[in-house]
Amino acid sequence: MMSDPDALTTKEEAEEEAGGQGWGGLRPQKAKEEKYKGYKIGQKVGQHGTYLGERGIYDERNQLNDLTGREWALFSKSWFIHNPPPRKKNEVLHPAKFPESMIGDFIKFFTKKGELVLDPMAGTGSTLVACDKTGRKGVGVELIKKWADIARQRTAQTVIQGDARALVNLLRENGITQVDFAITSPPYWNMLKKSRGHVLSLQKQRKEQGLDEYYSEDSNDLGNLEDYNTYLNSLHEVYTQVNRVLRPGRYLVVIVQNILTPEGVMVPFAWDLAKKLSNIYILKQERLWLQNNKLLGIWGYPSRYVSNVHHHYCLIFEKTSAKAAGD
């Protein structure tokens, strides 16, 4: 038995739960296995714990998710490597979708089974497919019919076609007034329409294959806004709407990148957005998504530094009751 039956949330137990990957100099996984030798899966550990084998120990006081202490600690690391698997036929049609497996990890951390997840700019519905895979309910809003239709082919979750700036009303019309978590990725300003370095080569490839190079010509598509401040303000409008339906104490994750202009100047979009949303949310942290399987281009060689940008920022915001916007 554990020496301190109530101690699952102490630093020491959390360190142990992390399998020695936590705060340094920790008990190795082997020692932990030794300690729980003879335990059966589902067996009580102390007053609040349940032994879940290699997964670790689940604490019934967990308010946020269904993870063990070990799984919780592993997710809390501020970076991760995720190499997206090749896209399927109907997924490749969309110019910028994110991988369901990665979104699934966020959903598992920020919700419990059966809770409701929102993506206000759902594209072809990757968030909703991740909800299917993790046993959550999902609702997605997408402006462009073509992408909304593909999302509907991929999942039976709720897909609403409309402008995310009218999110609260769109959800209400569908009987939804509150969601437990939101995760999304916006158009990265108008960058899919600007030719530069790796984007030029990607655009060329997509054109040759007869695929769309950008989302749409629709004037409500935020990826078609020319002025950067107008674009940032429009995103602020969208995430203010999200704030109004998000359950207090819960989280919004926005996946973004800093942007390189064709002139080779970095627009710090991820940082600008983080700062801008800090007046309606608590900015908690970024998680860096690192991609380690992308081909390297040799863009500026041999005279100028041009980066291969192979990372994204997953910005994590918390809604508190005090900071709820528009309530």
Ligand X SMILES: C[S@@+](CC[C@H](N)C(=O)[O-])C[C@H]1O[C@@H](n2cnc3c(N)ncnc32)[C@H](O)[C@@H]1O
**Applying CB under 6 A, which residues contact ligand X?**
94, 96-98, 121, 123-124, 126, 141-144, 147, 163-165, 185-187, 215-216, 220-223
Beta carbon nearer to ligand X, 19 or 223: 223
Residue 124 C-beta: closest distance to ligand X, Å: 4
Task: CB nearer to ligand X: give 68 or 157.
Answer: 157
Q: How far apart are CB 167 and ligand X at their closest, in Å?
A: 8
Q: Which residues pair with 51 in a beta bridge?
A: 57
CA distances (Å), 133 to each of 45, 51, 327, in order? 29, 24, 33
**52 or 107, CB closer to ligand X?**
107
- Looking at beta carbons, which residue is closest to ligand X? 123
CB of 89: closest distance to ligand X in angstroms?
Answer: 14
Nearer to ligand X, 68 or 158 (CB): 158
CB of 169 to ligand X, least distance (A): 13
Q: Would you say 94 or 136 has its CB closer to ligand X?
A: 94
In terms of CB distance, is 118 or 222 closer to ligand X?
222
Least distance (Å) between residue 100 CB and ligand X = 8
Instruction: Report the nearest approach of ligand X to the CB of residue 303 (Å).
Output: 33
- Is 7 or 92 the residue whose CB approaches ligand X more closely? 92
Nearer to ligand X, 96 or 282 (CB): 96
Whole-number minimum distance, CB 94 to ligand X, in Å? 5
CA distance 140 to 148: 9
> Which residues 6+ apart lie within 8 Å of 81 measured at CB?
290, 291, 292
CB of 273 to ligand X, least distance (A): 13
3-state secondary structure the chain: CCCCCCHHHCHHHHHHHCCCCCCCCCCCHHHHHHHCCCCCCCCEECCCEEECHHHCEEECCCCCCCCCHHHHHHHCCCEEECCCCCCCCCCCCCCCCCCHHHHHHHHHHHCCCCCEEEECCCCCCHHHHHHHHHCCEEEEEECCHHHHHHHHHHCCCEEEECCHHHHHHHHHHCCCCCEEEEEECCCCCCHHHCCCHHHHHHHHHHHHCCCCCCCCCCCCCHHHCCCHHHHHHHHHHHHHHHHHHEEEEEEEEEEECCEECCCCCEECHHHHHHHHHCCCCEEEEEEEEECCCCCCCCCCCCCCCCCCCCEEEEEEEECCCCCCCCC
